[in-house]
Amino acid sequence: MNRYSAPINEFALRHLEIQSQDRILEIGFGGGLMLRRLISANTWVTGIDRSAEMVRRANTEFRTAVKSGRAVFDVGSVEALPYEPAAFNKVSTVNTIYFWNSLESSLKEIHRVLAPGGRAAIGFLPEKHMARMNMPRDIYTLHSTENVIAAAREAGFSDIKVEWPDSEWNVIIAHH
């Protein structure tokens, strides 16, 4: 999955315009590819993932950053983020929206933990491309770009734009 998601993760990272003083949340970090990049950028990084095994691995792999207080990894879900309002100024999530229980409530949670002036990058394959892959509908929920934009607006995001790193993927950049 890391190899498959690497180009879209890099694209999302460029559009977040990461600075060393940023407080960043990565939702659904999985194998930790993006975490490596964020931690090497000398930022303050929090990662949340549904998998206790992925959190254990991240704590082991990035133990130096954890011990220094620059990284924290939690088991949890986007629908109920265990963080204070406005805790982060950047949020990234790639290839996770298919697994969210509710697009609307998840985007509201992201908006809640994002500080005013903050930026979120949400990378995914839109419904028209995912449908061709015949992914199991009981596991994957497909979303059109238009529906994600509408849900982001409803959640309170503004200045929403869509970037296309290639002919299939898109990254929605939304501001608090």
For residue range 17-49, list pLDDT tens digits in order. 999 899 999 999 988 888 998 998 889 999 999
* Residue-range definition of the domain harbouring residue 151: 2-175
Query: What percentage of residues in the chain have a pLDDT greater than 70?
Result: 87
Number of domains within the chain? 1
Q: What is the CATH number of the domain that holds 63?
A: 3.40.50.150
Residues of the chain where predicted confidence (pLDDT) is lower than 50: none
Half-sphere exposure of 3 (CA within 13 A, CB side): 0
Residue keyed to tokens 């949670």: 109
Q: 42: exposed, middle or buried (C-beta count within 10 Å: 0-12, 13-18, 19+)?
A: middle
Report the predicted TM-score, pTM, of the whole model to 2 decimal places: 0.90
Per-residue model confidence (pLDDT) at position 8: 74
In sequence order, what are the residues at sequence separation of 6 or more whose Cβ sits closer than 8 angstroms to the Cβ of residue 172? 120, 121, 122, 123, 145, 148, 149, 152, 160, 161, 162, 163
Confirm if 88 and 113 have CB atoms less than 8 A apart: yes
Residue keyed to tokens 């220094």: 68
Confirm if 104 and 157 have CB atoms less than 8 A apart: no
Residue keyed to tokens 């969210």: 100
Strands of the 88-94 sheet, one edge to the other: 71-75, 44-49, 23-27, 88-94, 114-124, 170-175, 158-163
Per-residue model confidence (pLDDT) at position 171: 78
Confirm if 92 and 25 have CB atoms less than 8 A apart: yes
